[in-house]
A and B are shown apart, each in its own frame.
Chain A
Amino acid sequence: MNLELIIFLVLAVAAIVSAILMITRRNPVTSALYLVFNFFVIAVLYLFLRAQFIAIIQITVYAGAIMVLFLFVIMLLNLGEDKLMNWKLNSSKSIASLMAIALLIEILYFVMYFTPSAGLSPKADSMGTVESIGKVLFNGYIFPFEITSMLLLAAIVGAIMLAKKKFSEGTDGE
């Protein structure tokens, strides 16, 4: 047990516990805050994997922009405690949980038997910096990058159009 492995295990437990707390809280604001914590833990794991640029993007875009948008919508809709959320185990919930457990067993089986046992690549240290990501991005992936800008523009227009008026008025083509 070296220090890196201990820190990794602590972070992994923190990520799993915060994810479980996220889906079991009644208050959506509490769920969102646990999800923000989970995103920060995953950002630290990205630093372990020498992906500095993605770690910063994770904190600014995910934990910053997206989760602020979530919290904004939760508070805008004034959602209180979820009174309808009960943990009575009805048939659909138990079937769903069984299917999820089957999925986990399946994935873990493949992880155990088919994951290559390679160490961290020697190139990994210099790979995750902003400089090298930028070089790769703007040399080989410039076209997807530009398409992403079109996608974001479409998302902006779509979000404004959807949130502007009611469904009943928006469906008759005006």
Chain B
Amino acid sequence: MDRNSKKAWLYLLPSLILLGLFLVYPLIDVFVYSFEECFNFASQTYEGVGLYNYLYVLHDPYFLQAVENTFVLVIITVPVSTGLALLISTGLSSIQPLRNLFQTVYFLPYVTNTLAVGLVFMVLFQKTEYTDGLINLVIQLFGGESIDFINGPHWAKMFVLCFYTVWVVMPFKILVLTSALASVNPDYYKAARVDGTSRTRIFFRITLPMISPMLVYLVITGFIGAFKAYSDAVALFGTDLNAAGMNTIVGYVYDMLYGDSGGYPSYASAAAIILFVIVLTITCINLLVTRKQVRE
């Protein structure tokens, strides 16, 4: 090895050590853990190798509840947030005055602490013995019956979780779509206007196809992000998500690892790997579907 090579490796050394220790080794190790049966954390011993951990996790009612919650969250929030972001960024790019102001405001949720602002949502939706909460006040104003969204029925809790998740993910989507819209060549619009094309037609025939790669990107990252939902739920319902019936898959992993129900890294590993098999499958399906559509 010549002197230059040595120097290069020296520059890379800190990164290599850190990445190896905290990224590559754990990635391999998590598979090892998931197959070690009856792993004892205190003595670091295990009794056999097999699929028991996976079977245990798949039969755990808490895990099944977590899977159900996660899927509902994904199916609701991804289309809603992407559609809403498309609507808002289209509106945003059609105005001139106040545009910067709106953009700044819309980005605020990105830079806030999810856990902290979640408490505000909890206060807004919660019904206590002192007060019905602001949201219930609005519901009553329209003649509805007040509901406790935080400790009440499951669908109400799910609604708050979806609402908060959409609120949190919107800044990123609006930002990406606004810059995608700005990068469409204005000549297309000019040509369409000369031809007297209607606004709706311009939108569906020019704008949408031009930004579709970015939409695909947003849908895929949106799916991945929503499958990993966790801290939003903690912010609204507290750390004991199993008791609230609002756990997510990632929440289940962490609960297995640590906390009152923790101490089972093997179960946690098995659950984490199941999660990523699901995410990988959905991402592949997404890619296949979109590629097929583009070809047609």
Q: Please indicate whether A and B come from the same complex rather than being unrelated chains.
A: no
